[in-house]
Every structure is written in C-alpha cells, then in structure tokens.
Structure 1
Amino acid sequence: MTAARTFTKRATHQPDWPDSCELTRARQQLASAPPLTSPKDIRVLKRALAEVAAGKAYVLQGGDCAEPFGIAARRGARAKDAVLGALSKQIRHAPVVVIGRLAGQFAKPRSEPTEVIDGRTMPTFRGLAVNGPEPVAVQRIPNARRMITAYHTARAVLAELDNGMWVSHEALLLDYEEPLIRTEGSTRYLASTHLPWIGERTRDVDGAHVEFLTNIANPVACKIGPAATPEEVVALCARLDPQREPGRLTLISRLGTHDVRTLLPPLVRAVRAAGHPVVWMCDPMHANTRITSTGLKTRHLQDITGEAVAFHETLRELGQWPGGLHLELAGEDVTECVGANVPDENALVRRYTSLCDPRLNNEQASVVVESLGRLGDDLAHRGLGRG
C-alpha cells in the first residue's frame, strides 16, 4: 500500500487540487483503508469474462452516469440490481454475466474545464468525488476530502448489494484509484472495483491511464470511439493484453448509430489479426447524445437501439461473438431519454434527475434489450455462442 504517486506518464482530465496537503491526507487514508474487492473475486470475474470471449456467455453492464453519495447511492444500487436482474432474464441466447456500473462511478471527464451558468463562469462539475453539482462557485472547487466520502459510499453500496454483483467504474481519478491498489504476493490488484475501464478521452497509449491499467491484474476495459484507428486499437491491445489472455481485455465500442457499420469492421479485423481474444461490447449511449433547444442533454431511444442492433449484426457478419451491452440506466422512472414512455423532448423536464448524462428508464432499457432477442436467437442458431 502506498500513498505516493507511481505513474510516470502524463495524466489528463485530472482535477487541479488547490490544497496539496489535503490531497496527501486523502491519499494516505485511502491507502490504509480496507479493500473494497478481493483478488479471489476479481479472478472469478476474469474467468467469467474468458467465457464471454469464447462466445459462451454475454455481459450486461449498466448503472449510473454519475453516482450520488449517501443513502441515494444505496437506494439506487438496490433499484439497479433489480432492473439488471430483470433485463438479464430477457437475454435468452447465452448465460449472462451481470456487472453494475456502481460503487465507484464518482468522477467524470469533461470536454471543457469551465462552464457558464446564468451568466457566471465556474469550474465544470467533475463528479462528486471532485466537486459539487450546485451552480455555486465555491461548490465547484475541487476538494480531495470528497474522495474519502466516495470510498465510504462505495463500501456502503457493496454492503447493500451484499457483494452479490460484480461492479465496475471508469478509472479516471488516479488520485483515488492508485492508493487503492493492494498486493497479493507479487501481484497488484485494484481493490476499488472488479472491472475498471478507461474512456475514449483517456485511452492514449502513452498516457497515464493506460500505464495504470497495465500494472494491475484485474480484467480491464477500454472505450473505443469514432476517432479510433485500427492501429491505435491494436497498440492498446498490445499494452493492455500483452499475454493475449482470455478475459483480460474488453473493448467497448461507442461509435454512433450512423457510423457503427462502417467504423467497427476494420477495428474488429485488426484486433483479430493481432491475435487478441478480447470481449467486444457495445455502449450505444455515448456517441448518440443530443442537445435540446433549451440546452438539455438527451438521447433518443431509436438511436440507442439502432446502434445496439447494428453492433450485433456487424459482429455476426464478421463471424465474431458480440459479447455484451453497456448501458447508462437509472433503475427509476426518469424522463431523460426520448422514446417509449417519454414521447418527445417536451416531456424530459418531468423527471430529469441525472447528475450528468441522460439515462434510460426501466421501460426504455427493456426495449433496448428486447430488440436484441431475435439477433441472439440467430447467433445461437449459427453457432456463434455457447461453444
């Protein structure tokens, strides 16, 4: 256990902590805190993901865009556990590995460091582990003590789930993640989660986030956006999966409903030619975000379903197993995305409660999963699954 920084590469999308002493104290507390996950459980998940890579299982991953703190996090975890369980029963073509986007989704990369609210310029909200969402300048100042609250919230969420669900989050905030590395023998595990991933904004093969994931034994994942080239993705695979180990690396494509059929095939062919047994998953949310005329972020269900279907059809045509679906969902009757029981953008204001990006409500999530039912049956019929 160490509170000292060990990564050597440039780290992007990190807060400019104003109090270095407070940051040091927070890192020291995290370094001495009990682990949130165990090496044994992490190894079990890696074996489960190896089954997915072999076409014998399917991943359903979902949860908050940005988690709340306190009792809202525990209540939300129960709701998401229930909806993910219900959604998993809609998937009939393979055993399902359910992974919650929970117990750590407290930091967000943002496109701009500042935003203007009511004519005032202030730091952008970066997730509750960094600053507050309230449009008040003092609340937007990064505060390292928030990382301790994030840790205790994550621990409470895992207790609420009774350690019965795999959890995952974006390993963005390195000052939170690094002190939570624990060692078993000579093997380093990230004890903040079972499955950490890095995003489209932090997947630089020469950056600190890729370096960080190379030095832990967890299964890891990486989001792949429309700007990714086959050469970049193969280079990422070489760094993150040098031993070509089934279950080690998951690639989560987020290409957009209009581009997935064009952009995905060269990436899949390049990774296959390089011999990496990755799990291919689809995030149909993030490349389909729109801004309404009133400035509200939203996503349209037809775009989300369209990308999910196109992803599965494209992988099928390439003779590859489409390994899973990654959704942002609320587990509640929110009105943040348009479609199903949210008829148009005017209905969004009824119950828009997300701390950051728009999430699917339960009915909408069910529509997305059900749209893949016929495809799943066809995959099983063609032998692309169940070994």
Structure 2
Amino acid sequence: MDTWTPSSWRERPVLQMPVYPDATALASAEQRLGALPPLIFPGEISQLRERLAAVSRGEAFLLQGGDCAESFDEFGQEPVESTFRVILQMAVVLTYAAACPVVKVGRIAGQFAKPRSSDTETVNGVSLPSYRGDIINGSDFSASARQPDPARLLQAYSHSAATLNLLRALAQGGFADLREVHRWTADFVRSSPQGARFEELADRITQSLAFMEACGFDAARAPQLHAVEFYTSHEALHLQYEQALARYDERQQRWYAASAHLLWLGERTRNVDGAHVEFLRGIGNAVGVKIGPAASADDVLRLMDLLDPGQQPGRLVLITRMGSDKVADRLPPLLRAVRREGRTPVWCCDPMHGNTVTASNGYKTRDFERILQEMNGFFAAHAQEGTYPGGLHFEMTGQDVTECRGGAQALTDERLEERYRSACDPRLNGSQSLELAFRIADVLKSARR
C-alpha cells in the first residue's frame, strides 16, 4: 500500500475506458467533481462491511440487484421507487424463509457505465463508437451522441445524488414500514401467481405483528419495523470518475470511494496488473469481483491477495457468473481452493451474465429456467464443499418490462418486443424477480431444516 495513491491506476494498463477528444474538458470535469460533496460517507461504508462480515460467517444473506445500466432519460421517482419496492419484497420473502437478516444492496445511484465487447458498432456499413453507458456517451446511433462527453460525468453525479436522496427517504421515511407490507406490490404483479403468494406471506406477517402486540410488544417503538438499511453499488469502470470522488478520511486514516458503498470489478477488468484492480485495492469500501468460468483457482487467490491482503471480514465479495451449463464443473474447485487457504469471502451468485442468448427475432434475452439452473448449481456446489452460499446478484427492474423469456408469465420471443426498454442487457421484471425470490426461499428453507 506504500505505493498506492488515488491516481496510481494511471500507470497501469487500462481497459474498457473511453478516449475523450478534449483532454482539457475532461480535466475540468474531474476538478469540479473533486470539489463536490461525497455521495457516501465512511460510517455507512463501515456499516456495510460489518453486515457483509456477518454474511461471510453464514449469519446473513446478501441480496444485490438493480438495473444493468441506469439511464438519464428514465430518471425519476417511479423507476427508483419500483426497483426499491421489489427489492424490499424479495428481502421479506428471503428473511421469512431463511430466518436470517438480508443485506440489501442496489445496483443503483451510479450504475451508468457498461463494458462492451467491441469498441465500435456497425449499422448499415456505418461504424461508430459503442454505447458505453450514459456517463460516457448516448445510445442514439449518431456521431454526436456516441462521442464521449466529459459533461456527462457531472450529470451522473447529479443523478446519483438525487437518487440517493430518494432512496434514503424511502428507506427511513415510512415507505419500508413492515406494517405497510401489503402496499408494496405493484399492480401488474398483484394479479400474478407471485403477487397472490406474496399477499399470503404479507397476511402471515401482519398476523404475527398483531400477535406480538397483543403480547405486549410495542411495534410502534421498534425501529426495525419502520425502516431498513439500504446500500448502493455499481461497477467501478470509469476510473476518472471514481478517482475524482475518492476522499480521505482523517479518522480512519484511509481513502474510500465516495461514489457508492460497494464497488465491483467486472470480468473484463479484473486483470491483476490492470488499472481497475490497482484503484480498488487502495480504497476502504467493500469490493466485489466478478468471477467467470475461465477463472482458475490461482487467478482467484491472486486477486484476493491484492484486494484483501489482511483478510478483513466483509471486505471482499466474490460474484460468480459461470453459466448454467458450467457452474457444476467450474465452481467447486474455486470454493475448495479458497477454503483450503482459510479465506472466508462472501460468495455471491450472478446467474444473469453467463446465460445471455439471442432470441429468434434478434433481441438479446435470458431464459428464466437457465437463471434458476445456475442458481441451483451455485447452492449445490456450496453444499458439496461445505461453504456458505452468501448471496444473489441480479439485473432487474420493478417495471413491467418484457426482456427475459419464461417464468410464470411464460414470456416468449414474440412478446419480447412488447416492452423491451433496456439499452444494454435484459432484466427480470418485478413479477419474475419475486418469483426468483420464492425459488431461492425454498432452497434456503430446506437448508435451514
């Protein structure tokens, strides 16, 4: 750590970063960001790390979900509230089933950058820079929209600040009151099988609260029933943005990323010699790493040595994304190697990214059954190796989109175009997300028995 500074990443190979045509404008945007207040504070970061430490010990479960890439155009109360509502519902389902706390982390208030497999996109013989998320350029296929614009960094900060303000109000201002659990269901979910099943669960919770009050428990004075802890996260892709929002905490005498509670590295940016690993190794936040099927045990252990040399509880989240057809073969050797070294990271499953396919009509989609298969394979591998399956990481929205096939709604290729709104990857809608929660709950309940 003696050689680390917030800018030391600039001396390392950089991948998945835009090339700005105006270096002066970029430097000006970075300077302005550096003078703005932090979005997240050290005490909040420390609290999340304590909660994740409990997950690593098998005393809690991590639920991390949200948009694949947030959009400036869809900013507003309804999208944020709908996503928050579904995560609340999923957390209640899992808490009831597993009888343990659920740590709630959103892919929100900063998830504006996306890695791409190619630097350019070609349409009708015209090649332009790929869309890399609203923090960098626009999704419209035009030369002006696709040019990286430093002003978007300040827009991303502004949107993140407003979203965080709303999330804190929702989490602490009464919306998350467990006595209002019946009001959390969106109209389009309410009429689905998942909506009916959630209403049954809500009835049981309401009856339990009434019973406790009859026994003398004062629900009105129990803060745990009226508010929830909710944390934010995003992929640490745009390093100029992250560096500009890095802050030094005098009390803890260390740097932290003030853009989110938790930052993660993607499969494309976890090179041990790369710029992204260099930046994340020096901050005090909880850090996640996506682990794909090509990762070896040596790769994982080397990353752990760099990102968590002190083996601090709650510091590291390993997010596996193997694919439904590979998880049974590729995950157990990694679990075995990490356990053999005495390491206890949080193990989390991303069943989305390894299961992306192209539908017959050209839409990028994901099959609900393959998502379930990878999730089941994740739990089975941990049961086999005697390790704890600590959480789930997924892309979702509370809105009524049609982007992933299958589920109880039985969405087909033909129906994808009805409400396909994602600018990047397909997301589970509110009904599919709740269905997934009930499936996970059944697994956790069986494990508890």
Q: TM-score range by the shorter chain?
A: over 0.9
Q: Taking every aligned residue pair, what percent have the same amino acid on both sides?
A: 43
Deviations 1:203-231 (Å, cap 9, x if unpaired)? Answer: 00111111111100111000000110110
The reply to whether residue 359 of structure 1 matches residue 427 of structure 2 is yes
Q: Secondary structure at the match of 2:309?
A: coil
Gaps of 5+ in 2: 172-229
Provide the rounded CA distance (Å) in 2 between the counterparts of 1:357 and 1:291.
11
> Is contact 1:122-1:137 (8 Å) kept?
yes
Pairing 1:1-387 to 2, within 5 Å after superposition: 5-7=7-9, 8-69=11-72, 72-91=75-94, 92-93=97-98, 94-162=100-168, 164=171, 165-185=230-250, 186-340=253-407, 341-381=409-449
- Residue of structure 1 equivalent to 2:181: none
For the residues of structure 2 that align with 1:120 and 1:73, how far apart are their CA atoms? 34
Where 1:90 maps in the other structure, the secondary structure is helix
Q: Which deviates more from structure 2 when the two are superposed, residues 157-166 or residues 136-145?
A: 157-166
**C-alpha distance 209-53 of structure 1, shift in aligned 2 (>3 A):** same
The aligned amino acid for 2:425 is D
* One-letter amino acid of the structure 1 residue matched with residue 387 of structure 2: Q
Q: What is the rounded CA distance, in whole Å, between the counterparts of 1:309 and 1:175 in structure 2?
A: 38
Is residue 64–residue 101 contact of structure 1 (8 Å, CA) maintained in 2?
A: yes
More displaced, 314-323 or 103-112? 314-323
Q: Distance in 1 between matches of 2:78 and 2:23?
A: 34
CA distance in 2, matches of 1:122, 1:173: 20
CA distance in 1, matches of 2:410, 2:80: 23
Aligned residues: 379
For normalisation by structure 2, the TM-score amounts to 0.82
**Displacement of 1:16:** 0.6
Larger-gyration structure (1/2):
2
Report the CA distance between 1:5 and its aligned residue: 3.6
AA in 2 matched with 1:98: K
> SS in structure 2 opposite 1:104?
coil
With over 3 angstroms needed to count, the CA separation of the structure-2 counterparts of 1:39 and 1:222, relative to structure 1, is same
- CA–CA separation in structure 2 for the residues paired with 1:368 and 1:70: 28
Aligned to 2:177: none
Between the aligned partners of 2:344 and 2:6, the Cα distance in structure 1 is 34
Distance 1:300 1:219, change over 3 A: same
The CA deviation at 1:73 is 4.8
AA in 2 matched with 1:18: P
Whether the 8 Å contact between 2:288 and 2:317 is mirrored in structure 1 is yes
AA matched with 1:35? P
Deviation for aligned residue 1:368: 1.6
| 8 A contact 1:15–1:142 mirrored in 2 | yes
Whole-angstrom distance in 2 between the partners of 1:343 and 1:25: 47
Contact 1:70 1:153 in 2 (8 A): no
Moved over 4 A (4+): none
Taking the aligned partners of 1:379 and 1:347, their CA distance within structure 2 comes to 36
Amino acid at match of 2:72: F
Counterpart CA distance in 1 for 2:442 and 2:426 is 27
Q: Which residue of 2 aligns with 1:384?
A: none
CA spacing shift, 1:211–1:73, aligned 2, 3 Å: farther
* Superposed CA RMSD: 1.4
3-state DSSP class of the match of 2:75?
Answer: helix
CA distance in 2, matches of 1:342, 1:333: 14
- The answer to whether the 8 A contact 1:104-1:150 is kept is yes
Aligned AA (1:357): D
What SS is found at the alignment partner of 2:93?
A: coil
TM-score w.r.t. the length of structure 1 is 0.95
**Counterpart Cα distance in 2 of 1:108 and 1:71:** 17
